[in-house]
Amino acid sequence: MHQKSKRWGAAVALIAAGGLLAGCASSGSSGDVTYWSAFVSKDTERYYQEHYVDAFNEQSDDTKVKMEVKQLQNLGSLTDTAVSAGRGADVVYSAGPSSALGFASAKRIDALDDYAAEYGWADKLQPWAYQASQVDGTLYSVPVEYGSIVMYYNPGVFEEHGWTVPTTLAEFEKVATEAQAAGMMPVGAGNSGYQAQSEWYLSAFLNMAVGPEKLYQALTGEAKFTDPEFVDAISLFQQQIDKKWWGGGKDRWFTNTDTDLFTGLADGTVAMYITGTWSFGDAGRYFGEAAGNDAEWDWAPLPSLSDDVAPGVYPMAIGTSLSVNSASKQADAAAEYIDFVIDDPARSYDYLAATGQNPPPLSDIASMPDTVDERSARLYTEAPESGNLGYASWTFFPAATDTYLWSEFDKIITGDLTPQAYLEGLQKVFDGELAAGKVITPFEPVPGA
């Protein structure tokens, strides 16, 4: 009997010890935190490793981050496959809140509200980005890179032709008409090599011509993409493409690459180029000494192409969001690392200065150092301050709607689809995704901003 109770005691102790160990493991108080990432260049990777991984590991006693570098092209699909199988890194990458929503719906990533409260993320992040990262009021991802779409131009070329940066439809049409008369491509556009590139221009056009308020209504189901404002906008875009203002029209759209268009901007054959601010980092290689010319680039906020839209709209885009894998045994440590990535504005802005990489949408924009390129610093201070924020399709449109947007737009360019039919198809796909809960709640626009 005595012997038997001893055995029972040992068994209970073992179970208790096991439980304690399991508790330690799930609390993630120690051990390696894995993180998959990808970079545009080796230099950027080295900088990140030194300032975001090694620096974290040096200051942390318990937690060590182990970064695995993947290819930029397949980081998303690798993560999707691994996370859907209940595996993958502890810190989960996603290409913005729409991608994170898929993980959240599948319960593959953890709710972050407790961590958000612990680390004060609502205060650290700009309100629109924090709001966009929530699913039904619960935070599931933390945005760590953001940008916008702006109009790039060559100040020397504008000066030569006596143009001022357009802010209204009339001014935009004047510059486009004169540029075309001068033998230039008025607005750079094209999708050779990357079919989805069309959505950069489409996102810009919808924000310029329809405006954030109407887009917000459509994204929340209050309005339809088939409403006259959208039909008019796509019709106007189609007319401008037919006039060969954008990308030289259908004969050139499918041939132009991003490189061609920046080269054209530098050599004066392209007047304006409307694209993402992710090019701030490498636009320099087409201009000035590095490119063997004396050209310069600058940017301006997007013009308004409708009386109902205030000029200077910034379509907001979140390029990278981080979440905590629900299969992680190091959840607390993973959250600690995510906080490290956004915790220090100086570190984020130094990264921007050194590599041109988009910073997190931090609410602290005052501590932007002088080392940041003036054009980048202007963007990351003016955009949040302006309040005139719009919606980039790849961040706020659900996956199938977004794919329809750019893939079917080819048929608008070739004239195989009418704007009405195109938008009816868009609305149909969107309705399905809205009903299936695949649309993130967009931030509310500032009326008349």
Partner 1 sequence: MTSATARIGAGPAVRRPRRRRRLVAWLFIAPLAIVNLLVIGGPGLSSLLFSFTDWDGLGQANFVGIDNYVELFQSPNVLAAIWHNLLWTLFFLIVPISMALLGAFLLSRLRRGQVLFRTLYFIPYVLATIVSATVWRQILSPDAGIGAALANLGFDGLAGVNFLGDPSLALGSVAFVNNWQWWGFLLVLFLAAMQGVNPALYEAARLDGANAWREFWHITLPGIRPTLMFLVLMTVIWSFLVFDYVYILTQGGPAGSSDVLATVLYRTAFSEQRAGYASAMAMLLSSISAVVVAGYLILRKKLDWDV
Which of these ranges, 186-194, 279-287, 304-312, 359-367, lies near partner 1 under the rule CB under 8 A?
186-194
262 scored as a contact of partner 1 (CB under 8 A): no
Geometric angle at alpha carbon 284, from 152 and 252, rounded to 5°: 50
Interacting residue with partner 1 among 47, 60, 102, 295 (CB under 8 A): 102
Question: What counts of helices (H) and strands (E) characterise the chain?
Answer: 22, 11
Cβ proximity to partner 1: between 250 and 378 the closer is: 250
CA-to-CA distance for 306 and 129, rounded, in angstroms?
26
Which of these ranges, 43-51, 151-159, 318-326, 409-417, lies near partner 1 under the rule CB under 8 A?
409-417
Map the footprint of partner 1 across residues 414-443, applying CB under 8 A.
414, 416, 436, 438
CA-to-CA distance for 379 and 86, rounded, in angstroms?
39
Cβ proximity to partner 1: between 104 and 341 the closer is: 104
Interacting residue with partner 1 among 39, 56, 103, 396 (CB under 8 A): 103
Which residues 6+ apart lie within 8 Å of 16 measured at CB? Answer: none
358 scored as a contact of partner 1 (CB under 8 A): no
Geometric angle at alpha carbon 87, from 86 and 88, rounded to 5°: 135
CA-to-CA distance for 67 and 50, rounded, in angstroms?
11
What is the SS3 string spanning 224-268? CCCCHHHHHHHHHHHHHHHCCCECCCHHHHCCCCHHHHHHHHHHC
CA-to-CA distance for 239 and 231, rounded, in angstroms?
12
- Interface with partner 1: number of residues (CB under 8 A): 35
Which of these ranges, 110-118, 236-244, 375-383, 413-421, lies near partner 1 under the rule CB under 8 A?
413-421
Interacting residue with partner 1 among 167, 192, 259, 269 (CB under 8 A): 192
Which of these ranges, 80-88, 167-175, 177-185, 350-358, lies near partner 1 under the rule CB under 8 A?
80-88
CB atoms within 10 A of CB 20: 10
196 scored as a contact of partner 1 (CB under 8 A): yes
β-strand pairing of 270-276 with 185-188: parallel
Q: How many CA atoms, within 13 angstroms, populate the side-chain half-sphere of residue 46?
A: 4
Q: How far is the CB of 196 from partner 1 (least distance, A)?
A: 8
Map the footprint of partner 1 across residues 370-399, applying CB under 8 A.
399
Q: What 3-state DSSP class applies to 431? A: helix
27 scored as a contact of partner 1 (CB under 8 A): no
- Per-residue DSSP letters for 29-77? -SEEEEEEE--SSHHHHHHHIIIIIIHHHHH-SSEEEEEEE--TTTHHH
Cβ proximity to partner 1: between 56 and 103 the closer is: 103
Which of these ranges, 176-184, 357-365, 379-387, 408-416, lies near partner 1 under the rule CB under 8 A?
408-416
403 scored as a contact of partner 1 (CB under 8 A): yes
Interacting residue with partner 1 among 71, 255, 367, 371 (CB under 8 A): 255
Catalog residues that contact partner 1 under the rule CB under 8 A.
Answer: 77, 80, 83-84, 102-103, 105-108, 191-192, 194-196, 250-255, 260, 399-400, 402-404, 407, 410-411, 413-414, 416, 436, 438
